[in-house]
Amino acid sequence: MTDSNNLLEEIQKKIKKVHQDVLEGKISLLEYQLVPIFNQLKDSLNISNINQTSKTYIEACELLDKKFEELKALLNSLDEEKRFQEYLKSEPEDSEILELFSGCWLKTFNLEPLSYTFLESSKERLMVDKTSSFTIQHLQKVEIDEDFILKLPKHKFTEKMLNFYEKIKKKLPCKFNEVFEDMENQIQIYENFIYLLHLLQLKKIKYQPDTDTLYI
């Protein structure tokens, strides 16, 4: 009787380990023989341990049920594979195959800073030849008479300054550099800059530093 109880305990431990190994994916019930367990249960059965044996028998039957489920899933997969092969032999259109697989793939998440587009553009920027040659163009030196303003008679200077004022006031308000955008001659830019400074000093034109704007 003691031997029967010891055998029953061994069977219980074996069933528990099989359950655990299946859960951890270590074994497949399709490859595991359950017949020896049921034979051992039969040998361990006696009147004194019939209740305990029946509980162990239920646990063994649970393993058997799971084995049948695995067998059923295997047969279904084989049947599906066969049907899919027959479907491919029918030479379906590409659009049909695409529709067949639609929804099978999980959509990947997309973070804008790490998107494929961003990474691709970053790669292109990094691959730019950093040693590419470039040309430095020096400004052409122009000799000017630094005292040309002083050589003008006072009434002539005022006249030219007011002419400049009449010319630019149609542009106002505008950015500071926009006053000189139509001037290509370096001497002319310098001369008009002097006129502008005087107009600012006379408050005929005002300047807003925050917006870099000239206005009347």
Residue 64 lies in a domain: yes
Q: 6 and 79 in one domain? A: yes
Predicted local confidence at residue 149, as pLDDT: 47
Residue 111 lies in a domain: no
Predicted local confidence at residue 171, as pLDDT: 84
Q: 159 and 95 in one domain? A: no
Nearest to 40 by CA among 49, 29, 27, 31: 49
Q: 7 and 91 in one domain? A: yes
Predicted local confidence at residue 200, as pLDDT: 87
Percent of the chain with pLDDT over 90: 1
Residue 199 lies in a domain: yes
Judge contact between 205 and 199, C-beta under 8 A: yes
**Whether pLDDT at 88 is above 50:** yes
| pLDDT-based confidence at residue 150 (cuts at 50, 70, 90) | very low
- The radius of gyration computed from the CA coordinates of the chain, to the nearest angstrom, equals 47
**Residue finishing a domain among 37, 70, 101:** 101
Residue 108 lies in a domain: no
Nearest to 66 by CA among 100, 27, 116: 27
Element counts in the chain: helices (H) and strands (E): 7, 3
DSSP strands (E only) in the chain: 174-175, 206-208, 213-215
Residue 170 lies in a domain: yes
Kindly state the average pLDDT of the residues 83-107: 72
Residue 82 lies in a domain: yes
Predicted local confidence at residue 128, as pLDDT: 66
Residue 54 lies in a domain: yes
pLDDT in tens, 108-120: 666 666 667 777 7
- Number of CB atoms found within 10 A of residue 168's CB: 20
Residue 93 lies in a domain: yes
Do you find a cis peptide bond into 209, omega within 30 degrees of 0?
A: no
**Whether pLDDT at 162 is above 80:** yes
- The CA distance from 133 to 30, in Å, is 71
Predicted local confidence at residue 139, as pLDDT: 54
**Residue finishing a domain among 80, 101, 122:** 101
Kindly state the average pLDDT of the residues 35-40: 87
- The CA distance from 17 to 59, in Å, is 12
Any idea what the Cα angle at residue 151 is, between residues 199 and 189, rounded to 5°? 50
Who wins on pLDDT, 187 or 9?
Answer: 9
**Residue finishing a domain among 74, 101, 128:** 101
pLDDT in tens, 170-186: 888 888 888 888 777 77
Q: 94 and 159 in one domain? A: no
**Whether pLDDT at 154 is above 50:** yes
For residue 134, the one-letter residue type is F
Mean of the per-residue pLDDT values for the chain? 78
Domain that holds residue 53: 2-101
Number of domains forming the structure of the chain: 2
